[in-house]
Amino acid sequence: MSAVFRRELKGYFLTPTGYLFLVVFLALSGLLFYLNNLLTRGSDLMPFFDMLSYVWMLLSPVLVVKLLAGERQQATDQLLVTSPLSSAAIVLGKFFATVMVLLMFMVLTLVYPFLVAAYARVWAGEVVTAYLGFILQGIAFVALDLMVTGFMKHSATAVAAALGVNLIVWLTGLLAAAPFVPAAISRAVSFLSLYDRFVPFLSAQLSFANVLYYVLFSAVMLAITIAAIELKRIKTT
């Protein structure tokens, strides 16, 4: 797994993918910080994190598209399928490399709380909890989009499919809040929503149930991806 991890991590910075994500992510986060805090001279960072959470919906497909769909498009996936590495090692190596890139870029956003702290009171507990929820949500989107793109053969269709799934996740949550939706369906969607699970973190509520949900959701998505690669290996042999 370590070999795959190092290969993928290095690949993010030897190709435009990592730099593209960095530029767009920092541009969007900077714009949101300006609109929510600098323009209004507000010290509350929670609306900033709330809006920033939707960035994963747009940018997560960019991070994961090269991992499996990119391998298929370049016809290098056969090397992985026939390698002595297990399917789990391949998927987890790629997944953790992406998570590492995500965390590296998240560190850069720490400049925003420090800027606010220079002129106003910032509650460290709120910021830490919001970051934890934001990171867990990002990891969940990475796992989801890795699973979706793992079934695609071309990068363009993989990005479109992952973005479409992310949009469905978002729109489903919006529809669940509509007054005409039955209460039982609304509760079920809220329970499963990657966005509703983030809301308690914005209120500095460190809920073990929400942390566990993000972890289990990511684990299920990875398990499906591993099973799909294992099935392909069986068909190849």
* pLDDT tens per residue across span 115-164: 888 888 888 888 999 999 999 999 999 999 999 888 877 778 888 888 88
pLDDT for the residue 31: 92
Angle, helix 124-149 to helix 55-64, in steps of 10 degrees: 50
- DSSP string covering 192-213: H-TTGGGHHHHTT---HHHHHH
Following DSSP, what letter does each residue of 83-146 receive, concatenated? SSS-HHHHHHHHHHHHHHHHHHHHHHTTHHHHHHHTTS---HHHHHHHHHHHHHHHHHHHHHHH
How does the average pLDDT of the chain come out, rounded? 83
DSSP code, position 42? -
Higher pLDDT, 146 or 79: 146
Per residue in 39-60, pLDDT (tens digit) is 888 888 888 888 888 888 888 8
Tell me the backbone φ, ψ of residue 79, rounded to 5 degrees.
-65, -40
The predicted-structure confidence for 210-229, as pLDDT tens digits, reads as follows 999 999 999 999 999 999 88
- Integer Cα distance of 87 and 112 in angstroms: 39
Distance CA 185, CA 91 (A): 33
For 58-85, what is the mean pLDDT? 73
pLDDT-based confidence at 80, cuts 50/70/90?
Answer: low
Coil, strand or helix at 65: coil
Q: How much is the average pLDDT of 48-74?
A: 80
What are phi and psi for residue 128, nearest 5 degrees? -65, -45
Question: Phi/psi class of residue 75: alpha, beta or left (left: φ > 0; alpha: ψ in -120 to 50)?
Answer: left
Give the pLDDT band (50/70/90) at residue 176: low
- Separation of alpha carbons 230 and 38, rounded Å: 50
Domain borders along the chain are 2-236
Q: How far apart are CA 226 and CA 9, in angstroms?
A: 19
135: tokens are 């990171």
The pLDDT score that the predictor gives to residue 220 is 94
pTM > 0.85: yes or no: yes
* Proportion of the chain above pLDDT 70, given as a percent: 84
What is the pLDDT at residue 75? 62
Query: Are 143 and 152 in contact, with CB atoms under 8 Å apart?
Result: no
Q: Is the pLDDT of residue 200 over 70?
A: yes
pLDDT at 144: 92
Q: How far apart are alpha carbons 209 and 207 in whole angstroms?
A: 5
Distance CA 77, CA 229 (A): 10
DSSP codes, 157-191: HHHHHHHHHHHHHHHHHHHHTSTTS-HHHHHHHHH
Nearest partner of 181 among 193, 167, 198, 163, judged by Cα: 193
